[in-house]
Structure formats: structure tokens, C-alpha cells
Amino acid sequence: MKGALIYGFDSTASSMRTLFPGARLGFSLRHALNKLPDKLVGVSASVRRGLRSKFHALLHRCRQRKSLRVVALGQCLRHFANRIDTTVGQAHGERIRHWFETKKAG
């Protein structure tokens, strides 16, 4: 196996590395999409839905690009965090940036 998408749990990553030592592990962006509303605690449901749909559109556009996909995704995620800053506040934007960084580090 060359690679697999996982949900970011340490136990899953550990098991996959044990079973497939040379495989590259990545995080499922769909799972990230489902986790986004949990990161925006205290924001009204309608605003969360709007941000979730924009996040979905961002991921869809990045998947459509064949070249520079990783660079485009990183740039889009930074822009999305900036949008959260202006829409719901800087504290939420920082929380989202931190979440993106921990996902990227994994």
C-alpha cells in the first residue's frame, strides 16, 4: 500500500504505521469538514452553516486543481482563517489556524 487517509486519531496512525511501515498517511479533508462546526463554539448555527459551506467549496476547488494542489490548499486555508477572523472574531480565527497547524503536523 502506498498511502491511506486516516481521521487523525493517534491509535489509528500507530496501527497503520505498524501494519504498513512504508505507507504515507494523510488526513481526510471530509472529516475536517465535519469537525469545523465543533471548532466554532459560541457562533450561531446559521453562521456556522455558512462557513461550513464555504469550507466545503474551498476543499472542492482545491481537489479539482491538478497542479500545485498542496500549495493551493495551504493558501486557501490561510484565506479561510482570515475570513473567520473578519466574520466571527479573531479568537475563532486563531483556533482554526491552530487546528489547521495540528492537522498539518500530523
Average of per-residue pLDDT across 81-96: 89
Model confidence, pTM: 0.60
Average of per-residue pLDDT across 30-39: 75
Of 53, 47, 55, the residue nearest 96 (C-alpha): 55
Map out the domains of the chain as residue ranges.
29-105
What is the reported pLDDT for 99?
Answer: 83
Query: How far apart are alpha carbons 50 and 67 in whole angstroms?
Result: 28
Q: Considering the chain, what percentage of its residues have pLDDT values greater than 70?
A: 73
Q: What is the pLDDT of residues 47-85, one digit of tens each?
A: 888 888 888 887 777 666 655 555 566 777 888 889 898
